[in-house]
Structure 1
Amino acid sequence: MSQDSRRHICFLTGTLNAMAGAERMTATIANALADLGHRVTILSLWDAASRFPLHPRVHHEALFAQRPSFKRAYFATVAGIRRHCTAHRIDVLVQVDTMLELFVLPATLGLGLHHIAWEHCHFDEDLGKPARKVARRLAAQFCRQVVVLTERDRRRWREALRPRSEVVCLPNPLPFPIPAEPAPRMQKTVLAMGRLVPAKGFDVLLRAWQKVAQAEPEWQLVIHGEGEERPALTALIGQLQLQDRASLPGICQDPAQAYGHASIFCLSSRYEGFGLVLIEAMAFGLPIISTDCETGPRELLTPGQDALVVAADDADALAKALLTVIRQPELASRLGAGGRDKASQFTLERLALQWDALVKAPG
């Protein structure tokens, strides 16, 4: 890459020391842009540790050792972001949450930065923070681009906010290359993966699994992830007498092994920003059963072609779909093959080049 097309890019995020989708994508895209020759820093608001490996040329630092009260530390945070941008001569600032606009706008006044907001929530979800709506309005007026994950969200931003910013749809990429071979699907295992939080609907999945386990007792459910719902889900497994049929083995350290040992993937979410696990499972050729929740599943899946899709919060419908795929191997194979075709649209190489064009776009 020529010197004049290389950018100094900063990704501003809350923390990288959390096993979650936005954090994982920050590391993935930062690494890919460093690989393409850009100079990349990641500024975490707190905690200089990262759960995800970083490219040797990605510099990571944090403003605070632990999460502060941002009401009390507001001015220190704004000053810290500005200091980082001037010290590293940042050209492009990518904020990994539209909420960060409340810090970034005052922090970058007069610096002339190319400013990108990267939205990981869908537009109609504020995650309990009314200030998110204000931050989105500011991002829509003051950022050069707002990056959203789905076309539906791109439409919502444009209809609702009439932004001066360009709203760009860039889906999350697969964080690993498409496997040369699909999973063998020899084991009678249904895999689910995600944080153990109410949004993921694992309580609904366990109620559905009680019906599946009665009808197909040789099958096992494995739910990978960690979070606040672990005690409640463990209690529910006991209450439904699924101790020998369902397990919660914690965070998945080796996704390739988890997908490779499964025969079906199930997403039971009440809400999803994107649903990267769906693309991962498709890359391994696993048939998908998913809820029809906003926004990712609705856009990523083609019912009957690469997935069976049911209403959210409906344990009976979920059980019925699981049993359909378990009992119809030809359907399972067809859905798995359809998913593998679709996963090829989400390779990191493809998305990295789109990000590269974005950060080099003239003002």
Structure 2
Amino acid sequence: MTQVKPTLCFLTGTLNALAGAERMTATIANALAEQGYAVTILSLWDPSSCFALHPAIRHEALFTERPSFKRGYMATVAGIRRHLKAHRIDVLVQVDTMLSLFALPAALGLGVRHIAWEHCHFDEDLGRRARKWARRLAARYCTDIVVLTERDRKRWLEALTPGGSVVCIPNPLPFALPAQPALRTSKTVLAVGRLVHAKGFDVLLNAWALVVQCIPDWKLMIVGEGPERSALEALRDQLGLRTNVALPGAFSDITRAYEQASIFCLSSRYEGFGLVLIEAMAFGLPIVSTACETGPLELLEDKRNAIMVAVDDHLALANALLDLISNSVETDKLARAAGEKAKLFSMEQIAGDWNAMLC
């Protein structure tokens, strides 16, 4: 007898932002819809999406613009409940443990299975103390907690859920493995991410000021958008890097950036996963990365598929970049290992992991 697939809802803040969690929401929802699941996505605000959605997916939003959730708490809970009842949702995937504060009361008495999807690492609350309480709530009432790394799974089990169901499902490569790796003929180092403090682009700019003293013909391209743009542009100009550093904004098709680069650099202060590392690996780019929690420490092996340096150390970052730029043998070795690693994160593999958990 064919098993009936549960009806799924992904609850998220918004899909109209070029950021990792939003991108993964669309990617996983699309993959599961392709497998025959009935899928809805409920955004708390903004009915638009930066990402293409499978034709069978229904995307709705509670509010047109981001509201004050303190003032609109009851309206938010009521709106989620209406959606769950109207679409007869069996499984509610909360795309942030903070959403447990809304989702759990919204589904009370409806028999909905709750899955909390953690995109940050356990020891980072992103400046919101309520996140710690939300995690405790999720650990107690959600059927499963999905985390992105084994390191984080162990932290959840140690701290909140001994004997509970904490499942490690890494993020998948959101595009097919390229037929060919990047040519790596341009004198370009690439960094990708939201322009926020966590990504450490200020550290990278200070490192780049040292790099160009030795190799002034190389360029740094930082692809992304965010609230720190003006501060980063000011720092770039203060360091005299206007002609050596490009900040072109976010790309709707990020593969173009990887194709045009020769080295990839991640300067983050922390990462929940670090999807950009997998993307760069897929294009066979040698990587320089900070050894930050949790993704880089799990995804990368120092001197095997990346060069790793301490967080917030612009001198070490500069030296690592200079070493790679001047050592083609090392870059070729790292690039080959990176390409092999990327194969472990295919969409087929990760969608299969989600399917196994849901069934």
TMscore range, shorter length: over 0.9
Question: Is 1:310 paired with 2:312?
Answer: no
Partners of 1:224 and 1:252 within 8 A in 2: yes
- CA deviation profile, 1:83-113 (whole Å, cap 9, x unmatched): 1111101111100010111111111111111
Q: Match of 2:350?
A: 351
CA drift of 1:164 comes to 6.1
SS at match of 2:132: helix
Letter in 2 for 1:198: H
CA drift of 1:16 comes to 0.6
CA drift of 1:138 comes to 1.0
Query: Take 1:115 and 1:254, find their aligned partners in 2: how far apart are those partners?
Result: 33
Q: Match of 2:191?
A: 192
Q: Match of 1:208?
A: 207
Partners of 1:47 and 1:67 within 8 A in 2: yes
Partners of 1:46 and 1:63 within 8 A in 2: yes
Letter in 1 for 2:63: F
More displaced, 4-13 or 342-351?
Answer: 4-13
- CA deviation profile, 1:270-321 (whole Å, cap 9, x unmatched): 1111100000000000000000111110111011110000001111000000
CA drift of 1:356 comes to 1.1
Q: How does 1:201-280 map to 2 (within 5 A)?
A: 201-280=200-279
* Alignment gaps of 5+ in structure 2: none
SS at match of 1:290: strand
Q: Match of 2:319?
A: 320
Letter in 1 for 2:110: L
- CA deviation profile, 1:163-218 (whole Å, cap 9, x unmatched): 56400000000000111111010101000010111111111111111111110111
Partners of 1:223 and 1:247 within 8 A in 2: yes
Partners of 2:157 and 2:164 within 8 A in 1: no
- CA deviation profile, 1:235-273 (whole Å, cap 9, x unmatched): 111111111111101102322211011000000011111
Question: Is 1:336 paired with 2:332?
Answer: no
SS at match of 2:289: strand
Query: Take 2:37 and 2:149, find their aligned partners in 1: how far apart are those partners?
Result: 26
Q: Give the percent of matched residue pairs that are identical in Structure 1 and Structure 2.
A: 65
Query: Take 1:98 and 1:317, find their aligned partners in 2: how far apart are those partners?
Result: 35
Query: Take 1:74 and 1:230, find their aligned partners in 2: how far apart are those partners?
Result: 32
Query: Take 1:5 and 1:164, find their aligned partners in 2: how far apart are those partners?
Result: 28
Q: Match of 1:157?
A: 156
Q: Match of 1:179?
A: 178
SS at match of 1:135: helix
Question: Is 1:103 paired with 2:97?
Answer: no
Question: Is 1:129 paired with 2:128?
Answer: yes
Q: Which runs of 4+ in 1 moved over 4 A?
A: none
Partners of 1:191 and 1:223 within 8 A in 2: yes
Letter in 2 for 1:192: A
- CA deviation profile, 1:39-68 (whole Å, cap 9, x unmatched): 000000111000111000010000111111
Q: What TM-score do you get using the length of structure 1 for normalisation?
A: 0.97
Query: Take 1:16 and 1:257, find their aligned partners in 2: how far apart are those partners?
Result: 22
Partners of 2:193 and 2:225 within 8 A in 1: yes
Q: Match of 2:50?
A: 51
Q: What TM-score do you get using the length of structure 2 for normalisation?
A: 0.98
SS at match of 1:5: coil
Query: Take 1:339 and 1:312, find their aligned partners in 2: how far apart are those partners?
Result: 21
Letter in 2 for 1:280: E
Q: Match of 2:5?
A: 6
Query: Take 2:350 and 2:49, find their aligned partners in 1: how far apart are those partners?
Result: 22
Partners of 2:157 and 2:163 within 8 A in 1: no
Query: Take 2:268 and 2:255, find their aligned partners in 1: how far apart are those partners?
Result: 22
Q: Match of 1:35?
A: 34
Query: Take 2:233 and 2:132, find their aligned partners in 1: how far apart are those partners?
Result: 36
Count of aligned residue pairs for this structure pair: 359
Query: Take 1:55 and 1:155, find their aligned partners in 2: how far apart are those partners?
Result: 34
Query: Take 2:304 and 2:4, find their aligned partners in 1: how far apart are those partners?
Result: 42
SS at match of 2:264: strand
Letter in 1 for 2:206: R
Partners of 1:183 and 1:263 within 8 A in 2: yes
